[in-house]
Amino acid sequence: MQKIANVVIIGGGITGCAAAYELALRGVKDIVVIEKQYLSSGATGRCGAGVRQQWGTETNAILARDSVKRFESMNEELEYDRDIEFKQGGYLMVSYTEKEWEQYKKNVAVQHSLGIPTKMITPQEALEIVPHLNTKGLIGATFCHSDGHANPFHVVDAYYKAAARLGVKFETYTSVTGIKLEKGKVTGVKTSNGDIFAQTVINACGYAAGQICDMVGFKLPLYPQRHQALVTEPVEPCQDPMVISLHHRLYCQQTPHGSFVMGVGDPNEPKDFNIQSSWQFLEDVARQATTVLPLLKNLRVVRQWSGLYDMSPDANPILDEVPGAKGMWVAAGFSGHGFMVAPQTAVLLVQKILGQECFMPIERFSLDRFSGGKLDLESAVV
Ligand code: FAD
């Protein structure tokens, strides 16, 4: 017998789980989340866990600013029986080049216009925040005290449990293999565990969102790109904020458990689905991290891993209905910052799907922004 749902959400990462919760909270019944592996098995469970409001585009900054407020009260709001471990130790974004510093000034102007309390600080002030920072050649830094990081597994678990309490069903280890379409309207999905009839389908497949859109013949302007990260042995607390150097392509935070989590981007990374870990990454991250934070040179690496960014052409998300497939929505293109904006991207998407007033103009995340005109490129991506 064919199963029936009101909404099928494909993808059990932070985006899919948060969307399921927001829909159920607004009274939508019969929601099913389909995840091909386990919840958080995609980029969400592999991410650097950073939550920052220091963005260059208004769109990313608004989503991040409003999501921070949600993270602050998430344990209570979702009645979570554990702790999402949201620690607001701030984000220190250091600048070693004049060009970057000029861009930071522009970014901070955007942030201030939105009430984000970022400060532009001197190398000496940066050193007071992170005493082991290399200030040789440092021009300045920006610091936002309410940025921080949270545990992605716990955040997803919190959304999952809250959504399940509201009646959402989760089918893990189940792949969506096709989308059923009739006269340009979605009528359901085909899965490895049978078909599900549904008139609304949300494609929250991150790096694989393009593959789902291919099933209805739509070419999504996204590409997957490997990013690698590592975790070290735990040591005594010595670094409160996440430190980012865009020039060194580095981000680095100390978790509440004492270990450091860090990663570097590789500008030459091919656009493909490879998630093998590499020796070259270890060398690269060791060089960049010890250049910016020399004290870390004696830390021992416990584990490295990689995951895929779902890159959009302007590094802003895509939240839109798929042309030629009425009822199919895409929430992807998070370009390396989908974890921190997920609480509010889920709200925005769900408001649009339900025909409610959106808390910010969702058109800024439309697909047709790519078909002409000038894109508002995000400059602050690691
Ligand atoms: P995902 O978490 O990728 O979830 C998509 C899910 O869809 C997966 O679980 C996958 O298994 C499932 N799926 C795919 N195809 C199918 C199918 N056919 N059927 C069923 N299920 C399917 N973001 C931040 O905000 N802060 C950070 O510090 C940060 N650091 C990062 C560091 C690294 C190394 C990486 C890789 C990413 C980082 N990100 C960060 C980005 C962030 O992880 C993602 O933007 C975010 O997790 C996207 O969530 P998602 O739910 O949209 O996608």
The topology under which CATH files domain 88-147+223-310 is: D-Amino Acid Oxidase; Chain A, domain 2 (3.30.9)
Mutate to test the pocket of ligand 1, among 273, 339, 340 (most ligand atoms within 8 A of CB): 339
The ranges assigned to domains in the chain are 4-46+153-222+314-372, 88-147+223-310
**Two domains, one topology: 4-46+153-222+314-372 and 88-147+223-310:** no
Atom of ligand 1 nearest to the CA of 16: 51
Which distant-in-sequence residues (6+ apart) come within 8 Å of 42 by Cβ? 11, 12, 13, 205, 206, 207, 208, 307, 308
DSSP characters over 116-132 = ---EEE-HHHHHHHSTT
Q: Mean pLDDT over residues 229-254, rounded?
A: 97
Residues with C-beta less than 6 Å from any ligand 1 atom: 10-16, 34-37, 41-44, 46-50, 175-176, 204-208, 227, 229, 263, 307-309, 332, 334, 336-340
CATH of domain 4-46+153-222+314-372: 3.50.50.60
- Nearest residue to 307 via CA among 270, 268, 342, 277: 277
Between the CA of 101 and the centroid of ligand 1 the distance, in Å, is: 30
The pLDDT tens digits of the residues spanning 205-240 come to 999 999 999 999 999 999 999 999 999 999 999 999
The mean pLDDT value for 351-363 works out to 97
- Taking the centre of ligand 1 as the mean of its atom positions, its distance from the CA of residue 39, in whole angstroms, is 10
Mean pLDDT for the stretch of residues 85-93: 97
Convert the pLDDT of each residue in 255-273 to its tens digit.
Answer: 989 999 999 999 899 999 9
Give pLDDT tens digits for 186-199: 999 999 999 999 99
ipTM, two decimals: 0.99
Minimum CA distance residue for ligand 1 atom 45: 338
What confidence tier does 57 reach under pLDDT thresholds 50, 70, 90? very high
Cite the beta strand spans of the chain per DSSP E.
Answer: 3-4, 7-10, 31-34, 50-51, 91-95, 119-121, 140-144, 148-149, 169-171, 176-182, 185-191, 194-197, 200-203, 223-232, 242-245, 250-254, 260-264, 301-311, 318-321, 328-332
Residue 1 is predicted with a pLDDT of 64
Cα(260)–Cα(252) distance, integer angstroms: 7
CA–CA distance, 3 with 181 (Å, rounded to integer) = 16
Question: How many CA atoms within 13 Å lie on the side-chain side of 183?
Answer: 0
- Reported as a single tens digit per residue, the pLDDT across 104-128 is 999 999 999 999 999 999 999 999 9
Tens of pLDDT, residues 319-332: 999 999 999 999 99
* Confidence (pTM): 0.97
In the chain, the percentage of residues whose pLDDT exceeds 90 is: 98
Output the average pLDDT for the chain: 97
Determine which residue's CA is closest to atom 44 belonging to ligand 1: 338
